[in-house]
Chains A and B, each alone.
Chain A
Amino acid sequence: MLASSKTIGEKSTTLLVWTAATFIAIPFCWLVGDLLWHGWHHLSLNFVLAVPQNAGREGGIGPILVSTGLIVGVCMAVALPIGVGAALFLSEYTPHDQVSGRLVRGSLDVLAGVPSIIFGLFGNAFFCQTLELGFSILSGGLTLACMVLPILIRTVEESFRAIARDQRLSAAALGLSKKCSIQYILLPAAIPGILVGSILGLGRAMAETAALIFTSGYVDRMPTSLLDSGRALSIHIYDLAMNVAGGNPNAYATALVLVGLLMMINLIASRIAEQWTTKNQLPT
């Protein structure tokens, strides 16, 4: 974009910029390559389905995948309705500069910055002890729901605000009530945005470890109810690496599964977002 002159200063800054870029690229390739190299040959259908044995050194991650799915499921089942409701209220019922809306938005922005270990402490005190849910999948899922709400609400609210004003005006001109125009016009139009928001929230929930250590617990058996303790994938990696001697091969394979799942989630989200924006840019 910019012409480069051939002075020594210019050359040395170019060198500096390329060096810095390489410094970031090397550990990235190293990390991904390392995971693939050590994890790939350990990965099999049997590993994904089998029960962990000998503290996780042998066997697979079947029950852990189920627990992870349940924790994330609880999280989304709670966060999605509340998130969409709050986003609708913020975008449809409060003007951008109204005090109540600004208060809610501000508090959510701050909540998004709270470190995950603090959510872990809160979840332990509130869900596990005050509500007496104990170390359970339910406590873990609810704690994660508090964590993903800010990102979910922000994405969904933006997708509601992106809907053209004409659509709201036409609905009002036809005499549709507010509820009806939201139900039949705005919600269907915002579905891609809601999907992207939920997928991003899902990704954040799956990557989380610190918030789950004292809420959903360590137990690696197959959970039989939501009140059982269940171990998430990320906690399994942590436990194998830190507390189990000789657990590294399985930790590599589990990390590969987790990173693979997260990359898939991100890919789907960006595909939906891309399709949605190109569709919206076309003249109607």
Chain B
Amino acid sequence: MTLSSNNISSHSKTDLYFSWSLRGCSILAGSLLLLVISFILHEAWPALTQIGLTRFFTDNGWFPTEASYELTPIFWGTILSAGGSIILATPLGMLSAIFCHFYAPPLLARWYRRMIELLAGIPSVVYGFWGLVVLVPLISSWHPPGPSLLAGVLTLTLMITPTIMLITHSSISQVPTTYIHSAVALGLNRWAVIWRIVLPASRIGILTGIFLGLARALGETLAILMVSGNVVQYPSHVFDPIRTLTANIALEMAFALDHHRAALFMSGLFLMSLVLCFVIVAEALRRKTTYAGVK
């Protein structure tokens, strides 16, 4: 055994090569983010230098073939749809996590959680398809035209509620039972325990879930593209069609050339910076210990 290359005292170099190949893998994986950012930046560069950043906000409308590149209405489309869905999904996700942990009988709670996990695993194109064939006709019969900000918001809400619910659920189930027992011993009723003890104690976890949900809503492409109508305009009410940054890229990449293409990569860069802000905040929150205590 002493002479075998598997021994620690052998002079073979396999160990060295092995550790270097592993290091290579990890450097490759670690530098992927830089590669992605630098390629998007490289493709967007003509837009930055030849069109200029300000024209994306000051031009008259988005007519890329006629060299007019205003992205503001598309920005609003993204912000309104993601904002609307987070406003709806946060209470729904939190309440359903509370339902699962405190209100539902054990068997129902297990099935409910399984259902939410399934919901989280359904691909976005299927949500989009369902929204297109079920939600849009429904909204259209109520208030035409149908494909609208409202349809987008509802579809996104359905998609990000599971994210918020699952993260909230795992963080409220980590609240130490001693907190809850003490509260019950003090005579607090169920809702008071949840509202005054459990939610404050797990607020960082809940916030992480909200930020991740927001990041997902901003970056979602197919579902929102299929249900929201894709008209470039400032919506005046929720039944107006809108277009988001992601949908804009997905719709126009196929035929975009030169400056148009660069402008699309530029909007991708905007989107990525926006989403990464939220992701980084969420990651920073996740690294903090969940139990700073109840203040």
Q: Which residues of A contact B (CB under 8 A)?
A: 1-5, 7, 9-10, 13-14, 16-18, 20-21, 23-25, 27-28, 30-31, 34-35, 81-86, 88-90, 92-93, 103-104, 106-122, 124-126, 130, 146, 149, 153, 172, 175-180, 182, 203, 206-210, 213-214, 234-235, 237-238, 241-242, 248, 251, 255, 258-259, 262-263, 266
Known: A177-B8, A214-B254, A259-B122. A241 touches B193 (CB 8 A): no
Within 8 A of A (CB), among B13-41: 14-15, 18-19, 21-36, 39-40
B283 interface neighbour in A1, A30, A110, A207, Cβ under 8 Å: A110
Are A34 and B279 in touch, CB under 8 angstroms?
A: no
B219 interface neighbour in A115, A259, A266, Cβ under 8 Å: A115
Contacts of A86 in B (CB 8 A): 22, 25-26, 28-30
Are A111 and B36 in touch, CB under 8 angstroms?
A: yes
Contacts of A89 in B (CB 8 A): 19, 22-23, 25-26
User: Does B207 make an interface contact (CB < 8 A)?
Assistant: no
B249 interface neighbour in A34, A121, A149, A242, Cβ under 8 Å: A121
B221 interface neighbour in A90, A116, A251, Cβ under 8 Å: A116
Contacts of B6 in A (CB 8 A): 176-177, 179-180
User: What are some 13 contacts across the A-B interface (CB < 8 A)?
Assistant: A2-B189, A20-B95, A21-B103, A24-B161, A31-B126, A83-B25, A86-B29, A90-B26, A108-B33, A213-B253, A242-B132, A259-B123, A263-B121
6 closest cross-chain pairs (CB), A and B: A115-B219, A85-B25, A113-B279, A207-B123, A20-B95, A104-B30
Are B125 and A21 in touch, CB under 8 angstroms?
A: no
Are B272 and A177 in touch, CB under 8 angstroms?
A: no
Instruction: Kindly state the separation between the CA atoms of A142 and B123 in the bound complex, as whole angstroms.
Output: 20
The minimal Cβ–Cβ distance linking A237 to chain B, given in whole angstroms, is 5
Instruction: Kindly state the separation between the CA atoms of A27 and B1 in the bound complex, as whole angstroms.
Output: 64
Q: Which residues of B contact A (CB under 8 A)?
A: 1, 5-10, 14-15, 18-19, 21-36, 39-40, 42-43, 91-92, 95-96, 98-100, 102-104, 112, 115-119, 121-130, 132-134, 158, 161, 165, 180, 184, 189-191, 193, 212, 215, 218-222, 226, 246, 249-250, 253-254, 264-265, 268, 271-272, 275-276, 278-280, 282-283
Are B98 and A248 in touch, CB under 8 angstroms?
A: no
Are A18 and B99 in touch, CB under 8 angstroms?
A: yes
Are B43 and A125 in touch, CB under 8 angstroms?
A: yes
Are B125 and A234 in touch, CB under 8 angstroms?
A: yes
The minimal Cβ–Cβ distance linking B3 to chain A, given in whole angstroms, is 12
Instruction: Kindly state the separation between the CA atoms of A175 and B6 in the bound complex, as whole angstroms.
Output: 8
The minimal Cβ–Cβ distance linking A107 to chain B, given in whole angstroms, is 4
Contacts of B128 in A (CB 8 A): 238, 241
Are B112 and A25 in touch, CB under 8 angstroms?
A: yes
Are B32 and A107 in touch, CB under 8 angstroms?
A: yes
Contacts of A35 in B (CB 8 A): 126, 130
- Output the nearest chain B residue to A23 by Cβ-Cβ distance: B92
Contacts of B254 in A (CB 8 A): 213-214
Contacts of A4 in B (CB 8 A): 189-190
Known: A118-B271, A210-B222. A255 touches B129 (CB 8 A): yes
Contacts of A104 in B (CB 8 A): 26-27, 29-30
Contacts of B118 in A (CB 8 A): 28, 263, 266
Instruction: Kindly state the separation between the CA atoms of A215 and B32 in the bound complex, as whole angstroms.
Output: 18
Are A115 and B29 in touch, CB under 8 angstroms?
A: no
Are B272 and A175 in touch, CB under 8 angstroms?
A: no
Are B35 and A114 in touch, CB under 8 angstroms?
A: no
Instruction: Kindly state the separation between the CA atoms of A180 and B30 in the bound complex, as whole angstroms.
Output: 26
Are B40 and A149 in touch, CB under 8 angstroms?
A: no
Instruction: Kindly state the separation between the CA atoms of A208 and B43 in the bound complex, as whole angstroms.
Output: 23
Known: A20-B92, A237-B126. A121 touches B10 (CB 8 A): no
